[in-house]
Chains A and B, each alone.
Chain A
Amino acid sequence: MAETPIVIQEQQYQKIKFVLGKLHQESTARVVFLVDKDGQPIAVHGDVGDIDTTSLASLAAGNVAATGGMAKLIGEREFPTLSHEGEKEHIHICIIGRVLLVVVFDERSSLGLVKLRVKQVSAEVATIFEEVMRETMKRKQDRNEFFSEITDEDIDSLFN
């Protein structure tokens, strides 16, 4: 593998959940997701309903990657926000470093309010992820010890 795995500890996860909860409430969104830029869902808060969160995370990341590709072609670094308007449900995506804030909202909210609240929590999300990356590097030894305990039998048992 070319890169060190990203590790989220319980405490950081709770911080993320708190920020998502705050954003969800203040933007009167239906549901708020935090997604890794590679397409892994990290956390969600709100009324998920029938939404397949894993698929949404993957597609949001693909969406951002595709529009990022287009941005580079026209001389932009990236498009930091993306908005999609539906008949009843809408999506707003904001890139914050290596994560995406994905907000699904309906007529109870508005794009302007969502954008404002997302902007207000962006710095907090960025700070939490800086901490995640710092802790990931700091706890490399602990992680190495955990993974070194995984045996060939453990791996083989996944495929039986």
Chain B
Amino acid sequence: MTFINYASREINCKIVYYGPGLCGKTTNLQYIYDSTAPQAKGKLISLATETDRTLFFDFMPLELGTVRGFKTRFHLYTVPGQVFYDASRKLILKGVDGVVFVADSQEERMDANVESLYNLEENLKAQGYDLMAIPYVLQLNKRDLPNITPVDDLVTELQRKGEPVLEAVASKGTGVFDTLKAVAKQVLTELRKS
């Protein structure tokens, strides 16, 4: 839920990166963190297992700039992708303003993508949101790997409402900021419209 503080002149929004396990959600955030100037970011918090799998969430605050005298800050979160962490995913979606679905382009991960997308829709519904009504972007990650599904096939299976679809190689940073910009723009535009 967007939080506007007239006293400190800040607009705060929450964006959640969602997707199946090992699809690149944390990698997206890590790249954003590593590439952002120190004055525009806070700490990157990663609550992870000993094998670096996200256990609860990753979080980093990002300051994009000023709009009409208001600092715009985006709080970026990732959810744990492994199937059995569903209870945690539900909690992290609370108060979301925009969602990025990170799909794993590898052929053998198509079922996992579909299952995770269905899970996203269900968990949003449980929190009172409708995927068709919130700012939403689809990222097709790992486009550099050899055994990947063609973009058109991924779009056919995963695109839900004509949302922007961005190709990415998060490990190299390709498409990471384009994805962030796309969802952030939607969030601010939606704020203006509402």
Contacts and interface: CB of A to CB of B under 8 A. Distances in A.
Interface in A60-111: 62, 65-66, 68-69
B45 to A, nearest CB: 5
Given A9-B6, A62-B56, A154 B94 contact: no
A149 B91 CA distance: 34
Contact of B3 (A2, A36, A66, A150): A36
Interface centre among A37, A40, A59, A150, by most chain B C-beta atoms within 10 angstroms, is: A40
Contacts of A143: 4
Contacts of B187: 1
A54 B4 contact: no
Query: Could you say which interface size class chain B belongs to?
Result: 35 or more
Interface in B80-137: 87-88, 90-92, 94-95, 97, 127-130, 133-135
A8 B5 CA distance: 5
B3 to A, nearest CB: 4
Contacts of A159: 64, 181, 184-185
Interface size class of A (residues with CB under 8 A): 35 or more
B37 interface: no
Query: At the interface, is chain B mostly helix, strand, loop or mixed?
Result: mixed
A8 B75 contact: no
B5 A55 contact: no
A70 B65 CA distance: 38
A1 B194 contact: yes
A155 B4 contact: no
Contacts of B190: 1
B7 A13 contact: yes
B165 interface: no
Given A1-B97, A14-B7, A147 B192 contact: yes
B189 interface: yes
A148 interface: yes
22 contacts: A1-B2, A2-B129, A4-B194, A8-B5, A10-B7, A13-B8, A36-B3, A40-B12, A40-B14, A42-B3, A52-B42, A52-B43, A55-B42, A55-B45, A58-B75, A65-B94, A66-B88, A66-B91, A69-B90, A69-B91, A158-B184, A159-B181
* 8 closest Cβ pairs, A-B complex: A38-B95, A13-B7, A5-B2, A65-B91, A158-B65, A158-B64, A2-B129, A40-B3
Given A7-B4, A38-B14, 14 more contacts: A1-B1, A1-B2, A3-B128, A5-B191, A8-B4, A10-B6, A39-B14, A40-B75, A54-B75, A58-B45, A66-B91, A143-B4, A157-B65, A158-B67
Interface of A: 1-10, 12-14, 36-40, 42, 52, 54-55, 58-59, 62, 65-66, 68-69, 143-144, 146-150, 152, 154-159
